[in-house]
Amino acid sequence: MSKAGTCKHFTGIQNKVCKAGVDYETVKPLPCITTFRKGDCTCDKYEEPSQAEIDEWPAFLDERMEMHRKVGPVIVAIKREHKGKSWKGVVECPCCGGRLHVSHAGYNGHVHGQCETEDCLSWME
């Protein structure tokens, strides 16, 4: 996330550590977002994004959304083919042509995926 008031290393509370390697459990209350911070920041790695990073954020989000639009038909095909059955496999990544590891959960139909290419597709439903 690149906006003022949020540490540029924050990866979301669903993760154990931030991009700077700080374990979120060691910096309570969570100092990464202004609304959670009480007083001075307790993390020595806290760093706000530059104005250039803030300005680039919308384009980054658009790029990521386009990647997920490209994988949409792959997800639909996997759900159709494996409906009601759990399955794991590797398919061609529609974004980079690399190896996309996917799994389908038979009990709820969710598809999860992770491309082997760094900074490419990754999602959980």
pLDDT digits (tens, 9 = 90+) for 45-86: 888 889 999 999 899 999 999 999 999 999 999 999 999 999
Residues 45, 74 share a domain: no
Domain that holds residue 8: 1-49
Q: Is residue 59 part of a domain?
A: no
Any domain includes 18: yes
Could you identify the residue written with the tokens 């639009």? 69
Angle at 21 between CA 16 and CA 93, to 5 degrees: 70
Q: How many domains does the chain have?
A: 2
**Stated pTM of the model:** 0.71
Whether 92 maps to a domain, the answer reads yes
pLDDT in tens, 28-55: 766 666 655 555 666 788 888 899 999 9
Model confidence at 120: pLDDT above 80: yes
Q: Which two tokens stand for residue 27?
A: 């910096």
